């Protein structure tokens, strides 16, 4: 295990949105997708300025904050794309589970492959992951390719695989006016999610422009320049189409 070293972009010690409760969030480096609205383009590639940890070093650093997690918090590994560092994530989560710590993996699903050799390793990761937070960015494949530069077929296969293996999921969808808010696309997403049996929460994330400064700092042209953020009414409409209240962890169910 000591020869496994994770490449980490940043750490968040008091995360409140990447899983239940208070989370220690590890943002790893590297991602093959090129989402046009990405707010962390600095995680895409390169190694300049990143931190490196063995799984043991990473867990020791995280568990210093264990008193804040109480009964429902824990560790989340995000990115970048966490599945690109599957071995590192698995070993950190193994250490966490020995201590009874809740583990969550935030992923776009892009590295997933429905192939025997990959699935063998992925199943080991599933065994030590309590919650998968899966970003489904687009249902229409051509729109998905335009938005991210990649297919969505393996991402949807991942969602089905997690459901078939009884792994809890949160599903996230970024709502971008004129791009990811089409009625037919949202209805198709709703119907796809209805086929999955382990979804705990569905979240609409309103598009924002907080990452634009990073694009400019990196010398990259921001592809969605001029695109506005969605209104509250548009977010509510999307939530109604996806019927988010039907899922047990929906925060609105406590209204």
Whether the Cβ atoms of residue 83 and residue 107 lie closer than 8 Å to each other: yes
- Beta-carbon neighbour count of residue 123 at 10 Å? 11
Domain boundaries, the chain: 6-254
Answer yes or no: is pLDDT of 81 > 90: yes
Specify the 3-state DSSP secondary structure of 51: strand
Answer yes or no: is pLDDT of 47 > 80: no
pLDDT (0 to 100) of residue 20: 95
Q: What is the CATH number of domain 6-254?
A: 3.20.20.70
Share of the chain above pLDDT 90, in %: 85
Which of 244, 235, 221 lies closest to 176, judged by CA? 235
What does the pLDDT look like over 126-149, one tens digit per residue? Answer: 999 999 999 999 999 999 999 999
Region 154-168: mean pLDDT is: 98
Q: How far is CA 160 from CA 119, 193, 198, 248, 250, in A?
A: 13, 9, 10, 19, 21
Query: Partners of 201 in the beta sheet?
Result: 170
pLDDT (0 to 100) of residue 255: 58
pLDDT (0 to 100) of residue 40: 87
CA gap 95, 107 in Å, rounded: 20
Answer yes or no: is pLDDT of 186 > 80: yes
Which of 230, 228, 148, 159 lies closest to 189, judged by CA? 159
CA gap 218, 212 in Å, rounded: 10
Each residue of 170-191: b (16+ CB within 10 Å) or e? bbbbbbbeebbbeeebbeebbe
Tokens of residue 28, six digits: 């790893």
What does the pLDDT look like over 223-235, one tens digit per residue? Answer: 999 999 999 999 9
Answer yes or no: is pLDDT of 48 > 80: no
Tokens of residue 32, six digits: 């093959």
pLDDT (0 to 100) of residue 46: 65
Region 7-15: mean pLDDT is: 94
Answer yes or no: is pLDDT of 216 > 70: yes
pLDDT (0 to 100) of residue 49: 63
DSSP 138-206: -SSHHHHHHHHSS-SHHHHHHHHHHHHTT-EEEEEEEE-TTTT--HHHHHHHHHHHHT-S-EEEEEEEE
Which of 223, 133, 233 lies closest to 175, judged by CA? 233
């Amino acid at each position: 295990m000591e020869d496994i070293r994770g490449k980490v972009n940043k750490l968040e010690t008091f995360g409140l949105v990447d899983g239940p409760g208070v989370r220690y969030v590890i943002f790893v480096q590297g991602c093959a997708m090129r989402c046009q609205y990405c707010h962390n383009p600095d995680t895409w590639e390169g190694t300049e300025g990143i931190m490196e940890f063995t799984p043991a070093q990473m867990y020791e650093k995280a568990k210093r904050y264990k008193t804040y997690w109480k009964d429902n918090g824990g560790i989340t590994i995000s990115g970048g794309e966490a599945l690109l560092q599957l071995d590192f994530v698995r070993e950190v989560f193994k250490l966490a589970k020995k201590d009874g710590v809740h583990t969550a993996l935030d992923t776009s699903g892009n590295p997933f492959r429905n192939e025997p050799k990959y699935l063998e390793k992925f199943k080991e990761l599933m065994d030590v992951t309590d919650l998968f937070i899966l970003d489904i960015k687009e249902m229409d494949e051509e729109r998905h390719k335009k938005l991210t530069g990649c297919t969505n077929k393996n991402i949807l296969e991942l969602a089905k695989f997690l459901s078939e293996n009884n792994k809890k999921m949160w599903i996230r969808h970024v709502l971008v006016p004129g791009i990811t808010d089409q009625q037919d696309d949202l209805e198709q997403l709703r119907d796809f999610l209805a086929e999955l049996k382990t979804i705990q929460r569905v979240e609409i994330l309103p598009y924002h422009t907080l990452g634009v400064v990073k694009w400019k700092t990196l010398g990259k042209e921001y592809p969605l320049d001029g695109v506005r953020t969605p209104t509250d009414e548009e977010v509510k409409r999307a939530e109604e189409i996806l019927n988010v209240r039907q899922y047990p962890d929906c925060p609105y169910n406590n209204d």
